[in-house]
Amino acid sequence: MFSGLFRSGRSTAIAPDKSKNTSGVYVADFVDPEELVFAEEGSSNGSGGLQQIVYRSSVPVTPDALDALCDKVGWPARQPGKLETALANSFLVSSVVLRRCGADGAPAEERLIGLARCTSDHVFNATIWDVLVDPEFQGRGIGKALVAEMVKALLRRDICSITLFADSNVEEFYEALGFEANPSGVRGMFWYP
In the chain, what's the furthest Cα-to-Cα distance?
A: 58
Cα 99 to the chain's mean position, in Å? 16
**What's the pLDDT tens digit per position in 112-123?**
999 999 999 999
Cα 162 to the chain's mean position, in Å? 14
* Residue 148: pLDDT over 70: yes
> Could you tell me which residues are beta bridge partners of residue 120?
126
How many CB atoms within 10 Å of residue 6?
14
Distance CA(170)–CA(113), nearest Å, equals 19
Q: What is the value of pTM for the model shown?
A: 0.77
Domains of the chain: 25-179 (3.40.630.30)
pLDDT for the residue numbered 131: 96
Distance CA(30)–CA(155), nearest Å, equals 10
Distance CA(72)–CA(142), nearest Å, equals 16
Sheet bearing 161-164, strands edge to edge: 35-41, 51-56, 92-101, 107-120, 125-133, 161-164
* 191 or 46, greater pLDDT: 191
* Residue 58: pLDDT over 50: yes
Name the percent of the chain lying above pLDDT 90: 55
**What's the pLDDT tens digit per position in 76-105?**
989 989 999 999 999 999 999 999 988 877
pLDDT for the residue numbered 192: 82
What are φ and ψ of residue 160, in 5° steps? -110, -10
* Residue 7: pLDDT over 60: no
What are φ and ψ of residue 121, in 5° steps? -90, 5
* 110 or 166, greater pLDDT: 110
One-character DSSP codes across 30-42: E---SEEEEEEES
24-33, 132-141, 150-159: which has the minimum mean pLDDT? 24-33
Up-side HSE of residue 176: CA atoms within 13 Å toward CB? Answer: 8
* Residue 6: pLDDT over 90: no
Q: Which residues are catalytic?
A: 174
* Residue 18: pLDDT over 60: no
Name the percent of the chain lying above pLDDT 70: 80
Mean pLDDT of the chain: 81
